Amino acid sequence: MLSLKDNKLDKYEIDGKVTRIQYESQKEHSFFEIYKSYETALKNAGFKILLTLDKTNCGANLSEQLYIGEFNGLNALSGDNVKPDYRDGQFAYLSAKKKIDDKDIYIVVYVTYFKEPLITFDAIEVQSMDKGLVSVKDLETNITQNGHIAIYDIHFDIGKSAIKPESAKTLKNIAQYLNAQTNKKFIIVGHTDNTGGFEANLKLSKDRADAVKNELVSKYSVKSEQLKTFGDGQTAPVATNSTDKGKAKNRRVEIVEQ
């Protein structure tokens, strides 16, 4: 997904089910007509428009930034298919969002020309997590009764181990509990869903566990000798990996009492 930051394109990653439709339209439909029809339809359906871009506010190299260069990924397409006709420079991008039931629905529309008007439509469904922010009381109750607790509020980008800033409150609560239990030792265990290779998931889960330990020690004064780390990869699911909701439950960090 794209946003504008300091008048430059920036991106943020979202994780969910992606449905892509790409098609060519007939020439009798103008570029403006196609683009505005999507914008109007999304507004009428209750979507919030997050961002609109065209040559007036983004410059003539939108397709290189969005699809060919640094913003490839979810929206990656062949450069031969998405380069706009620079004779008129007609191209545009919009993103929108709406919450439906327990899902955040993101829509991304990119309109350009390749012989005929070319429309790329992405719908991304992001499942909301059932669990709320973990508290010190949750940690104490679950670890006392079950010997471990699954944490869902430590966030990472897809395939990466760097901890995202919105994880700070959860890490602070974990540190508060650990610092009150200095006579006990714990294992931080990383878990993934089954997306990607087996060995890659083992490494990713261990890297994420290591990142959590490093954050707790370096920022919240937890004693390093109190913690060990382990990566379980995809080997210990708590739900089916055949659904997005199940995958979301399997991606977690657990605190286990030694």
Question: Distance (Å, rounded) from C-alpha 96 to C-alpha 47?
Answer: 6
| Cβ contact 249:208 at 8 Å | no
Contacts with 202 (C-beta within 8 Å, 6 or more apart), sequence order: 231, 232, 233
Query: pLDDT value at position 208?
Result: 97
Residues with pLDDT less than 50, the chain: 60, 67-87, 130
Query: pLDDT value at position 157?
Result: 87
Of the chain, the end-to-end C-alpha distance in Å amounts to 41
Query: pLDDT value at position 125?
Result: 84
| Cβ contact 100:40 at 8 Å | no
Contacts with 111 (C-beta within 8 Å, 6 or more apart), sequence order: 31, 34, 35, 38, 91, 92, 93, 117, 118, 119, 120
Question: Could you report the per-residue pLDDT of 178-195, keeping only the tens digit for each?
Answer: 999 999 999 999 999 999
**Pick from 225, 194, 232, 230: which is nearest to 209 by CA?**
230
Query: pLDDT value at position 30?
Result: 73
Query: pLDDT value at position 46?
Result: 94
- In the chain, what percentage of residues exceed pLDDT 70? 76
Query: pLDDT value at position 6?
Result: 55
What structural domains and CATH numbers belong to the chain?
2-127 (no CATH), 136-257 (3.30.1330.60)
Query: pLDDT value at position 76?
Result: 46
**Pick from 156, 174, 175: which is nearest to 164 by CA?**
156
User: Is this structure's pTM higher than 0.95?
Assistant: no
